[in-house]
Amino acid sequence: MSIVHQSLFELKELINKGEMTAVEVTETFLNRAQQLNPKVNAFISFNEKALEEAQRVDQRRQQGEDLGPLAGVPLAIKDLLCTEGLKTTAASKMLHNFIPPYSATVVERLQTAGAVVLGKANLDEFAMGSSNENSFFGPCKNPWSLEHVPGGSSGGSAAAVAASMAPASIGTDTGGSIRQPANFCGIVGVKPTYGRVSRYGIVAFASSLDQAGPMTKTVKDSALMLEVISGQDPHDSTTSSRRVPRWSEALSENLKGLKVGLPKEYFSDQISEDTRKAVENCIEIVKAQGAEVTEVSLPLVKYGIPIYYLIATSEASSNLARYDGVRFGHRSNFQEIPAKDLAEFYSRSRGEGFGSEVKRRIILGTYCLSSGYYDAYYKKASQVRRLLTEQFKKAFEACDVLLSPVTTHPAFRLGERVADPLQMYLNDIYTTATNLAGLPGMSVPAGFSQDGLPIGVQLSAAHFDEQTMFNVAYAIEQALNLTKRWPDVQQ
């Protein structure tokens, strides 16, 4: 078996035992990723210094230094996280040539733990999208079927792992952007509790919703990566000072005494047959592992999509105001056609630099915050958000983990939904509420459709209770044993 399909833990072992050097591992993935990228388009750029970084890890090992939990493992980083000296584009024309002078805290922590940055993964522009079709660098494809989308916005991060172009990756999740592509690509994807992981250095989409998280082949890999990137960051006021548990060491598939809640609003008749079967199978698994399954009700989640889009676009309209072509980023050619005033100086650069979905959301958000609409839209949504969050808190008094589908259907075809943004937004129907309430959530592989497309199951837990969520995911993973099945992208 080639090492490219191995888990992060397995690779770690190889490197630790000296069976392979970090350089060899990195080179293997770099070659494969560069070879497959024309087909999958999972990467926007590769790190020219990846091998140098790996070499440093090997040198440190030779000198007997403590190498950290990710020593020598190459990772794909969503191109939304700043990497010092390495182009960071947010998949936008606006930032197509932006080289940050600093790195995101998440990237720094991964590197401190010995990880090597392999390259920057494709995404929907500024993380706005559910299909990775809104990328200035072209759509990313689903490795299981190149006619299908990988999901989004962290489509490149998901596809890179599914296609074994990288053993693991980092994505970000504002309304489902880690879980939905993980679900479409048959991998594990975790959105941590809001405040677990620093947002510093991550191009902001919606500040009160964004969280970065791991996307991996196994639950244990995700648990380990999350341990590395979690914890208070002096550069991010919204990170929690809570202790970060060693989740990966405490995984247990024994679910005795655990209550798993099934939110009845998430089991609608819109769900495809394949998805329903896969999710029901997972329910049987958790029961078999000793968990008690109960139905819970979250009536307000039906407003999840509108509240989410009202809040996310409002925050985004302000977060994206800094892209004005003054200090960095795209500036229209004013030598050729001068701007007649300051307003045009901005409008033209921004109008040219942003793609159409980003513009649509900025306009929507600006409208929701503008005088006369603030109360009815932004404020109202923020009030319902509180009620919704309280409803979740109540639900977690009755159960420990919520289990549901991630999406109604497996991956859809490229181009299928681009024309209707509302239909595209409805993709996020089961994922947005988790972000609104700040809960930890994840997608873990649950099976395949009859067409051979992956299907995941969504789990979420109370604030800061990632461990319980990981345990249920681990039980499902161990029972299904799907981790040794991978797509054949070559054919």
List all residues 6 or more positions away from 31 whose beta carbon is below 8 Å from its beta carbon: none
Active site residue 49: no
Coil, strand, or helix at residue 425?
helix
Assigned token pair, 252: 């247990």
Active-site annotation holds for 78: yes
Minimum CB distance to another protein smaller for 33 or for 170: 170
Catalytic residue among 103, 131, 153, 317: 153
From the list 7, 92, 131, 177, the catalytic residue is: 177
- Comparing CB distances to another protein, the nearer of 105 and 443 is 105
**88 versus 404: smaller Cβ distance to another protein:** 88
**Phi, psi dihedrals of residue 403, rounded to the nearest 5°:** -125, 135
The first and second tokens of residue 219, run together, are: 């639950």
The DSSP symbol for 377 reads I
Q: Please, what is the minimum distance in Å from the beta carbon of residue 191 to another protein?
A: 12
Residue 3 dihedral angles phi and psi, to the nearest 5°: -70, -15
Nearer to another protein, 1 or 343 (CB): 343
Instruction: Give me the catalytic one of 7, 12, 78, 449.
Output: 78
Tell how strand 292-296 and strand 259-263 pair up: parallel
Nearer to another protein, 315 or 477 (CB): 315
Residues 6+ apart with CB under 8 A from 165: 29, 32, 33, 36, 37, 40, 42, 43, 76, 159
153 in catalytic set: yes
Q: How far is the CB of 303 from another protein (least distance, A)?
A: 5
Buried b (16+ CB within 10 A) or exposed e, 370-389: eeeeeeebbebbeebbeebb
Please state whether 348 falls in left (phi above 0), alpha (psi between -120 and 50) or beta.
Answer: alpha
In angstroms, what is the minimal distance from the CB of 3 to another protein?
33
User: Chain-centre distance of CA 143, in angstroms?
Assistant: 17
What residues act catalytically? Answer: 78, 153, 177
